[in-house]
């Protein structure tokens, strides 16, 4: 969606780090998420960060949030072939007392030997 | 409970036919969401239920679409007089107050020929 933008494609060598970037316009979002989607499958939540945090690390995943620039990134250390998938950035937008997710178009990560 | 379940996984239908999809959320989740994902795009919000009440419908949900959650548990999404533009992956997610994330099902892929 136009509220959330991601680059469409990223290619990395196996063992290298991958950095997937996301920019957004809505500064009121309280939670920002990264989802993974493998071919023909649903969405798997990888990690999320609360808007009052700058960084969150979870094993091979590191999320960085720059609220001033409205920029979110996901770093995958030691990228493996099994990491090949589409990665979606999503914001939680609160509306009418509940919340819904606004997704970017996704970044396709290709990992090659 | 193994997660959000959607049925069928795949549906091929002729233009003009009606189709119905089912979503079984995680037990005791009172929030249920439907999203639509077209090729190359991120999921887009369609509608939201809290218990049996449908609290919001997106502009994407035309008059041909209807969703129900009669007993506050499973939900159905019906598309009448299908069009080729309805071809997409229909994703269901569930959540609950106090839970920061939404859990997605595997989706129903609809192809209208």
The pLDDT of residue A96: 62
Mean pLDDT of chain B: 93
Interface probe with A: pick from B3, B42, B110, most Cβ of A within 10 Å: B42
Structure tokens at A85: 């998938």
- Residues from chain A contacting residue B40 (CB–CB below 8 Å): 105-106
Each residue's pLDDT tens digit, B55-107: 989 988 899 999 999 988 999 999 999 999 999 999 999 988 777 778 999 99
The SS3 assignment for A81 reads helix
Residue of A nearest to B31 (CA): A98
Structure tokens at A38: 């493998």
Structure tokens at B83: 């069009």
Q: What's the CA gap between B90 and B105, in Å, rounded?
A: 9
> In percent, how much of chain A has pLDDT > 70?
95
Each residue's pLDDT tens digit, B7-59: 999 999 999 999 999 999 999 899 999 999 999 899 999 999 999 999 989 98
- Residues from chain A contacting residue B102 (CB–CB below 8 Å): 45, 101
Q: What's the CA gap between B80 and B78, in Å, rounded?
A: 6
Residue of A nearest to B104 (CA): A43
């Amino acid at each position: 969606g136009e509220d959330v933008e991601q680059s469409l494609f990223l290619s990395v060598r196996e063992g290298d780090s991958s950095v997937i970037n996301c920019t957004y316009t809505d500064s009121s979002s309280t939670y920002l998420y990264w989802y993974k989607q493998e071919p023909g499958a649903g969405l798997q939540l990888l990690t999320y960060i609360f808007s009052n945090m700058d960084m969150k690390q979870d094993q091979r995943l590191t999320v960085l949030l720059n609220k001033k620039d409205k920029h979110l990134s996901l770093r995958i250390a030691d990228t493996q072939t099994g990491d090949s998938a589409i990665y979606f950035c999503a914001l939680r937008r609160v509306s009418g007392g509940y919340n819904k997710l606004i997704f970017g178009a996704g970044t396709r990560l290709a990992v090659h030997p | 409970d193994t997660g959000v379940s959607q049925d069928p996984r795949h549906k091929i239908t002729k233009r003009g036919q009606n189709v119905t999809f089912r979503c079984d959320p995680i037990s005791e989740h009172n929030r249920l969401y439907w999203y639509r994902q077209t090729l190359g795009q991120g999921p887009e919000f369609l509608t939201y239920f809290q218990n049996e009440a449908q609290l919001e419908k997106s502009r994407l949900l035309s008059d041909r679409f209807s969703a129900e959650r009669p007993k506050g548990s499973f939900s159905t999404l019906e598309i009448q007089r299908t069009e080729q533009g309805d071809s997409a992956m229909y994703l269901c997610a569930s959540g609950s107050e106090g839970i920061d994330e939404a859990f997605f099902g595997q989706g129903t892929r609809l192809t209208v020929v």
